[in-house]
């Protein structure tokens, strides 16, 4: 984690000078790129700072040691239903929402309803039917 914190934090040494050079080259008249590059530098230090503080609270992980193996990081990520169709319904609803943003906003509510039905179905999948507990 400490390596990740250093890598993210080092982005400030690239983005801030590039942002200043970009501002000088555009005479600070272009008001989107200059602040965006500076904010990317500040964001990199913010993420790096979070990772540094998080690494102090959890200690060393397998990625920090030179002789760490992939199997050292193996742990259970959670339980996911391999036969569930609800993620597909959520994806179709999200796709319709994105399509609606490109074509016409009147389509977005239809996609939102489909995505909401898929989300409710995914959350309550184990509350009814053959797999209820």
pLDDT computed for residue 111 by the predictor: 97
Q: What is the pLDDT of residue 133?
A: 63
Position with higher pLDDT, 31 vs 113: 113
Q: Give yes or no for residue 21 having a pLDDT over 80.
A: yes
Residue 65 predicted with pLDDT over 80: no
Q: Taking 90 as the threshold, does the pLDDT of residue 73 lie above it?
A: no
Chain CA centroid to CA 47, Å: 12
CA dist., res. 114 & res. 63, Å (int): 41
pTM, rounded to two decimals: 0.53
Greatest Cα pair distance, the chain, in angstroms, is: 67
Taking residue 12's Cβ as centre, other Cβ atoms within 10 Å add up to: 18
CA triple 90-91-97, angle to 5 deg: 90
Nearest to 87 by CA among 52, 60, 125, 41: 125
């Amino acid at each position: 984690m400490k390596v990740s914190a250093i890598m993210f934090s080092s982005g400030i040494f690239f983005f801030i000078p590039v942002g200043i050079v970009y501002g000088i080259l555009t005479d600070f008249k272009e008001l989107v790129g200059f602040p965006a590059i500076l904010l990317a530098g500040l964001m990199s230090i913010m993420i790096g700072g979070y990772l540094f503080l998080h690494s102090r609270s959890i200690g060393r992980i397998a990625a920090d040691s030179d002789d760490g193996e992939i199997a050292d990081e193996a742990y259970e990520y959670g339980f996911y239903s391999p036969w569930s169709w609800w993620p597909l319904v959520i994806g179709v609803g999200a796709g319709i929402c994105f399509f609606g943003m490109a074509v016409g906003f009147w389509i977005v509510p239809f996609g939102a309803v489909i995505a909401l039905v898929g989300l409710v179905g995914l959350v309550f999948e184990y509350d009814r039917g053959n797999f209820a507990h």
